[in-house]
Amino acid sequence: MDLYKELNNNQVEAVKALDGRIRVVAGAGSGKTKVLCHRYARLVEEIGIHPSNILCITFTNKAAHEMQRRVRTFTSSYNVNDFICTFHGLCVKILRKEIYRIGYPSNFQIIDIEDSGTIAKNVFDEMKLSRTAVEVKQLLDSVRKYKFASFNVQDGSYIDKILLPNTDVQPEDMTEEIRYIQYQQKSFSLDFDDLVLFALYILKNFKKAREFWSNQFNYIMVDETQDCNRHDWELVEILAEKHGNLFVVGDPDQAIYEWRGSLPKYFVNFECDKDIMLNQNYRSTPNVLDVANSVIKHNTMRIKKDLVTKTQKGNMPIYHHAMTEDREGEYIVEQIEKLTKDTKNYEDVAILYRASYQSRFIEQALMKRKTPYVIWGGIRFFERKEIKDVVAYLRMVEYKDDLSFQRIINYPSRKFGNVSMQKLKHIASEENITLFDALKKYKEEKDFNKKPLIDFIEFIEDCNSIKNTYTISNLLEHIIDKTGVKNDLRTDPKSERLENVEELLNSIKYYEQVNENEDISLTTYLQDIALFTNADYNKEVKGVKLMTIHQAKGLEFPYVFICGLTEGIFPSHRTIRERRKNGEEEERRLMYVALTRAEKRLFLTDSGGYNFTTKRDKTPSRFILEIKKKLIDTDGPIDEEAFSQTKTIVRELNTEIDRPLQEESSFKVGDDVVHAIFGEGKITKKDDTTGAFVVKFKDGERSLLPRFIEPIKIIKRIKDICE
């Protein structure tokens, strides 16, 4: 088989590049996987390197399996599976052979996130501490930070301090983190972070192990290298030190995981013997690429390149500004129906958004037109648990029906167990009354005479009495606040649950706005919303794909809509405030990833109206302004005033983030601080191990990193400037 037949000149250069440190900057859709597979095949079939001496590292099992499949089509009798693997897969192979050196058995256990949660709960139980979901998550985060922080210091890692045989931890040092790690030690279990850190520890501390594995791999290839963290890089450099043949492939413009530890700067600053650029795109039209290039050039942490293509120019990308979210959704669906009028190939269409809650107005528009769709890797908006829960509260106020009662009686927990529920069901059945009426009638009985249940009865009755004097949105705000639902969502590890409920609340406010002249009631709203919660569709149906941009990475579609391009939402001002210029550049890279998913047609949409979350009028995203006007067509009128407001907002935000950060060392116990979600609080202590501060808020204490808190006086000054 001719390995070079279908390759362009730059791809051939990359495949033929043999020895030394080689960096391949591979733009979106430039065929990097093809290059990796062909180079692997060349090493085996033309050079004669045994597959066991070739290491090819990917970031996902899916990518590893795809590469194995492709390589098999080029190679003959060799086993290609051994070392085409993920970082974690490689570390497992290393540890099975070497972990005995630190007193662990080769059949060590690998634990997942659920197992980690169980260990955390055991720690809390042993220390007689509360263990809510958020506290469990905080401990797991703290353990992770402790492991990485201690691994970086010169006086020994957490492995030296806690895990090695005969390690003596003093009782006064037995923090929650250390107890957690000791629980792991008892069962010789490692989490996914441990796999890399243990492998690094052994390679650093045992010369024979280091020599063996460094000698093992004549050639090393690493895919998606822009997503590597510091320890990934360190591992690769150790393995490559004997032969020095390191082939790294990546694209800093597609680095969208800095928030979870990836460091694209290592790839940008990689010292190499040969630099190869893959900038010929095989996916998108020139018009789409021009828009993508126009946006990403505003970043500074990148390797300059412009994607080019030999495909036909195609249609101009389209920008549409809608008056409202609902009109934005309707516009998108109208365009989809035009695109698929003849073929009905709805699966050719993808709608991308920054955050999962943004699917709400799109889903409503799709359902109105009966356009089939699927949520990629997720759940439809009105089927999400938190949405069903709060809607059930509204239904309970209006109807007091049994289904709603069963859904919310223990949300948040009122310690109403299954035995009591069965007794209540029996009574209700015998007397032919609702569960609520049965509870109300027999609230003095032993099984039901509990304060949380009596409070629940009184609360539902109270809400029923005020429902006609409250707006629906005010009633829902009252419900989620007084029942503890809001606090439960705010402290939930899955922060998007609160965002989803806020989006529902905002949609109700908009519903009230557009129907202000109509005689709407809670009943009317519940009837209308039932149209969107009714599951009258085939869940297996193929249709338009809805997904977040993070989910879309690595995928491509003939037609792509990027919706909700509102300043503050995309780019996320929260991300920019937390990570400053790095945050802004990562948001722009996320936009670049979204743009380069499109093969034939690209649509960009936003909407006007009021943003109830930011408490200001919506304005178009700065990313729209960064596209040269000649590169994009507009469908409909342009709101120049809105664009002007965007520029003002961007200037205000830049003024805010350009201020020097509060020095971590200047925080001290007793300081009053503020957090973006939890509000005002007071620092009670500092964890010298992790660098985190324990802050007491109204609803409890939380351990937070310094960059996520600010002195109250600074926050107030910033608010004054922005207002």
- Rounded to whole angstroms, the Cα distance separating 59 from 89 reads 10
* The residue type at 558: P
Tokens 């700067």 sit on residue:
265
Instruction: Count H helices and E strands in the chain, helices first.
Output: 29, 22
- Rounded to whole angstroms, the Cα distance separating 390 from 387 reads 6
Q: Nearest CA to 226 among 472, 592, 668, 661? A: 592
- Rounded to whole angstroms, the Cα distance separating 652 from 631 reads 28
- Rounded to whole angstroms, the Cα distance separating 118 from 122 reads 6
Rounded to an integer, what is the distance from CA 69 to the centroid of its chain?
Answer: 29
State how beta strands 544-548 and 693-697 pair. Answer: unpaired
Residue 278 CB partners (closer than 8 Å, separation 6+):
10, 11, 14, 24, 25, 26, 27, 30, 31, 32, 35
In contact, 609 and 507? CB cutoff 8 Å? no
Token couple for 221: 């290839």
Token couple for 330: 């309707």
Local structure of 376: helix, strand or coil: coil
Q: Phi and psi (nearest 5°) for 681?
A: -160, 180
Neighbour order of strands in the sheet with 54-58: 84-86, 54-58, 219-222, 246-250, 21-26, 274-278
Identify any residues that bridge with 685 across adjacent strands, giving them in sequence order.
694
In contact, 654 and 340? CB cutoff 8 Å? no
Instruction: Name the helix (H) or strand (E) containing 536.
Output: none
Beta strand segments in 230-294, E: 246-250, 274-278
- Whether the link from the prior residue into 412 is cis, omega within 30° of 0, is yes
The secondary structure of residue 634, as a DSSP letter, is E
Q: Nearest CA to 560 among 591, 518, 582? A: 591
For residue 660, count other CB atoms closer than 10 A to its CB.
5
In contact, 247 and 128? CB cutoff 8 Å? no
Token couple for 88: 């974690």
Rounded to an integer, what is the distance from CA 289 to the centroid of its chain?
Answer: 26
Local structure of 374: helix, strand or coil: strand
- Rounded to whole angstroms, the Cα distance separating 83 from 217 reads 9
Burial class (CB in 10 A: 0-12, 13-18, 19+), 493: middle
* The residue type at 457: I
Identify any residues that bridge with 3 across adjacent strands, giving them in sequence order.
none
> C-alpha angle 185/188/191, rounded to 5°?
90
Beta strand segments in 554-662, E: 557-562, 598-607, 610-611, 616-617, 633-634
Q: Specify the length of the chain in residues.
A: 723
> C-alpha angle 436/437/443, rounded to 5°?
85
Burial code (b: 16+ CB inside 10 Å, e: under 16) for 305-328 equals bebebebeebebbbbbbbebbbbb
Residues labelled catalytic:
32-33, 223-224, 254, 597
